[in-house]
Structure 1
Amino acid sequence: MSPAAKIAIGGGIGGLMLAVAVVSALHRPPEPAVTILVPEDEAAAARQDDLARCRTITMPESSCDAAWEARRRHFFGKDNRP
């Protein structure tokens, strides 16, 4: 291989390394995720307690059916519909 070809290959590799260094220096790291904490009211805490209790029972219970239905309505956004 001729000396000119070696210089050209070395220059190409050096240029590629320089381009990678510039791109990685200019690349901004992703912003950290922001967690929004919504304070729960006492009614929501009571519903969560009911749902936790209803998960463990095996017999049908009307209060558990009502709690699960309220949770379904809240999840699907049907609470605020007219």
Structure 2
Amino acid sequence: MLHGPSRTAKIAGVAALAGMMMAVVVAGVVTRERPVPATTPVPQATAVPEALTRELDRCATLTMPDAGCEAAWAANRRRFFGEEGAQP
């Protein structure tokens, strides 16, 4: 005479089902999308002037020292660090 699954098999099945459900919950919590923090717009005063941008692009391709490039990099550093006299 055949009887249904044993008590141990039932407990193992319920434990396996509970484990799978727990894994789904943990995966859902871990991968939940978090809101992106709002970014502040860059004030127009700190925008890089077009002439400085072109000069820095030109200087990036040079391999020899250039006085104009040294001045452009110095102006860019002053602008970046917010020092006085940053406007070229």
TM-score by structure 1 length?
0.61
Root mean square deviation, CA, Å: 3.2
Matched, 1:46 2:27: no
Paired residue type of 2:42: V
Question: Number of residues paired by the alignment?
Answer: 78
TM-score by structure 2 length?
0.58
Partner Cα separation in structure 2 for residue 29 and residue 14 of structure 1: 26
Percent identity over paired residues: 31
Partner Cα separation in structure 2 for residue 61 and residue 4 of structure 1: 85
Deviations 1:13-68 (A, max 9, x none): 11112223344455632335766663767862211101111222344322211001
Partner Cα separation in structure 2 for residue 49 and residue 40 of structure 1: 18
Partner Cα separation in structure 1 for residue 82 and residue 29 of structure 2: 47
Q: Which runs of 5+ in 2 are unaligned?
A: none
Q: Which runs of 5+ in 1 are unaligned?
A: none
State the match for 1:29 in structure 2: 33
Partner Cα separation in structure 1 for residue 40 and residue 49 of structure 2: 17
